[in-house]
């Protein structure tokens, strides 16, 4: 039987693994044209109305994506598009309310869940925050990443509450996505 400590270690390892899996996915995605050109799957048919809604959401965010990702807009849209297919506002509100309370009390080691339009997890944002603390050169004034670790308190439960509030806002999720893409570039292209 797994005890609480072992469960925390497993959850922590899985969060780190997810972060690096997502990072690896980002790098592999650069070869999307070669891979996708050989596939003949009609995703609009497979996902139906959810696909159409996701395309509408992407279109409604066109201005923000153009401003935040002038050179990598299509890449940023491709990263979040699968999550937009999965997103349902009412289900998101209903499912996450109790999960938020547990997260604020216990943290992402105990419970981790997807929230917001891009279905980001608190542990994903925690990994971004940690990476930006480790590499402060990424928080230059022109990219607003310094805001990510700027909390109004030092109390961990209040920080978790702020993190959840931010995750529910599309502008914050776009900032996290931008930071993630910069981290991937820093981690895999520059190294």
pTM, full prediction:
0.73
Is the pLDDT assigned to residue 34 strictly greater than 70?
A: no
Is the pLDDT assigned to residue 63 strictly greater than 80?
A: yes
User: How large is the average pLDDT for residues 103-118?
Assistant: 92
Residues with Cβ < 8 Å from 181, sequence gap 6 or more?
26, 69, 72, 75, 76, 79
Q: In whole numbers, what is the pLDDT of the chain averaged over residues?
A: 81
Is the pLDDT assigned to residue 18 strictly greater than 50?
A: no
By percentage, how much of the chain surpasses pLDDT 90?
A: 50
Query: Which has more confidence, 23 or 51?
Result: 51
- Phi/psi class of residue 169: alpha, beta or left (left: φ > 0; alpha: ψ in -120 to 50)? beta
Q: With contact defined as beta carbons under 8 Å apart, do 83 and 25 qualify?
A: no
CA distance 141 to 171: 17
CA distance 127 to 124: 5
Domain boundaries, the chain: 4-39+95-189
Taking the alpha carbons of 29, 15, 120, 169 in that order, is the dihedral positive or negative?
A: negative
CA distance 52 to 45: 10
Neighbours of 28 (CB within 10 A): 10
Could you report the per-residue pLDDT of 116-161, keeping only the tens digit for each? 999 999 999 999 999 999 998 888 766 789 899 999 899 999 999 9
CA distance 19 to 152: 26
Rg (CA), the chain: 17
Could you report the per-residue pLDDT of 162-174, keeping only the tens digit for each? 999 999 999 999 9
Query: Which has more confidence, 189 or 123?
Result: 123
């Amino acid at each position: 039987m797994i005890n609480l400590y072992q469960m925390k270690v497993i959850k922590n390892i899985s969060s780190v693994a997810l972060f690096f899996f997502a990072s690896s996915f980002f790098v592999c995605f650069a070869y999307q044209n070669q891979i996708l050109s050989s596939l003949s799957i009609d995703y609009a048919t497979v996902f139906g109305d959810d696909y159409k809604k996701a395309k509408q959401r992407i279109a409604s965010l066109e201005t923000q994506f153009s401003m935040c990702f002038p050179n990598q807009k299509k890449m940023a849209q491709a990263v979040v598009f699968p999550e937009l297919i999965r997103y349902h506002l009412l289900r998101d509100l209903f499912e996450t309310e109790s999960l938020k309370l547990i997260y604020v009390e216990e943290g992402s080691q105990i419970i981790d869940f997807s929230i917001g339009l891009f279905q980001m997890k608190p542990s994903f944002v925690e990994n971004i925050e940690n990476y930006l603390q480790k590499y402060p050169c990424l928080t230059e004034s022109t990219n607003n990443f310094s805001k990510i670790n700027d909390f109004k308190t030092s109390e961990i439960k209040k920080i978790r509450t702020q993190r959840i509030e931010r995750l529910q806002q599309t502008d914050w999720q776009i900032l996290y996505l931008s930071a993630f893409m910069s981290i991937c570039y820093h981690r895999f292209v520059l190294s």
